Amino acid sequence: MEEKESFLKQKIDANSPNKNIVPITTSIESDGKLSIGGCSIEELVKKYDSPLYILDEITLRNSCRAYKKALEKHYPGKSLPIYASKANSSIFMSNLVSSEGLGLDAVSEGELLTALKGGVPNEKIVFHGNNKSDKEIEFAVRNNIKVIVDNDYDLERLEEISNSIDRDLEIMIRFTPGIECHTHEYIRTGSFDSKFGFGIEYLNILFDRISKTKRLKLRGLHAHIGSQIFELDPHKDLGEIMVNVILDAKNFGHDIEKLNVGGGLGIKYTENDDPPSIDEWVKTISTSVVKACKKHNLNLPTLMCEPGRSIVSTAGITIYKIGAFKEIPGIRTYLSVDGGMSDNPRPITYQSDYSACLVGNPFNINTNSKNKYTIAGKHCESGDVLFKEIELANCKTGDLICVFGTGAYNNSMSSNYNRIPRPAAVLVCDGEAEIIQKRESPLDLLKYDVLPDRFIK
């Protein structure tokens, strides 16, 4: 049968990796098998076992550089892209983005500590969160990390801390600009009805309150309107709204030096996805801010943005090994793999779609319309399904499946459901593979269990 067209044959955009389904270094070897970063995936699984997370260094660095380059090209003022580490937090990722000149956004003491251990400079870290603990806020202040105030509770505690240490604290505030985006309901954060940030109608009261504090200095604004966004117009509107808020803050004596427009740029998970390029997204927001500042005769603030998914998602793949098959005549064939919702909870949580292929037969040679499989995870949940009716070539127990676009929110949202250990993660580049996360063992899962003495016989 004639070889079928595949997304693997699509032209790769090295300047904007978010527009690709596959990592930049994806290739098919002479034996017809898939490789990433010059490394045979089959050999990686032999060495590191499966399931296995793989990150492509070239794709990661190109994504970081695309944001830096676009900001330098389109924004005439100072700028700083900040990696939203919730997408994939590790000492390695912190080190890599820092080495490319990016800052980092953290939402917990764990992410803050990871960033510092990875070498991110304190002054390039921002601390988010809608329910920061006293311990977390104190950790951030002690380490000279700028706190983004999300609510009145944050403000009260920061005021108390600044007075107790008798030191000025520079803060930013997060507000909801009320912009709706066509994205999943659970990850839409820019509307008025959101757990994040101050309502825009409350800002003048807030500005007045901050101006009356002794030690808090309002230096920046932050807004974020959602995730996996393919539209540019909402970000054009966001820039103008944020500049107008700068004017309002100025009326209360606040000198806003930093404008953080959040992140949210989408990536290409499937062939139906068509996200804007990184350059287009940055150009849109930069042009909007510059135009609004000129209109109101304002100095350009430092422009910050917080890409997460569009930095790391396309760089990551996950490899599974096929186990059991179950055919229900006239309905479907289930193909089970050795992972699932514990290493990728997004399909069961968000009904997220991905692209995949067989490692040993990536182009689906000799496939036909009958080879459609529902790929099920191994967890004790009927909803643990990674793909519904995906078309693959003939496959068998022991074959490997590669799922693309798993660099973001897979490892970081992973769990030990059913007491299943988390996978290992490796970095590939120029034919070399290096471990960046060790595989957990079943014994590791018992490490923090405690049996009370009275139950021990």
- What amino acid positions are annotated as catalytic residues? 380
Order of strands, edge to edge, in the sheet holding 27-28? 27-28, 34-36, 39-40
443 φ/ψ sector (left φ>0, alpha ψ -120 to 50, else beta) = alpha
CA neighbor of 20 nearest in space, from 235, 215, 275, 210: 275
Rounded to whole angstroms, the Cα distance separating 392 from 367 reads 7
Beta strand 332-337 with 316-328: parallel, antiparallel or unpaired? antiparallel
> How far apart (Å, rounded) are the C-alpha atoms in residues 332 and 373?
7
In the three-class reduction of DSSP (H, G, I as helix; E, B as strand; rest coil), residue 28 is classed as strand
C-alpha 157: how far from chain center: 29
DSSP class of residue 229? B
d(CA 88, CA 410): 8
CB neighbours of residue 441 within 10 Å? 10
Are the CB atoms for 292 and 79 separated by under 8 Å? no
**Euclidean distance between CA atoms 98 and 89, whole angstroms:** 13
Q: What is d(CA 223, CA 399) in angstroms, rounded to the nearest whole number?
A: 45
Q: Are 58 and 66 in contact (CB under 8 A)?
A: no
Burial 306-332 (b: 16+ CB within 10 A, else e): bbbbbbbbbbbbbbbbbeeeeeeeeee
Q: Nearest 5 degrees, angle CA 247-CA 249-CA 250?
A: 65
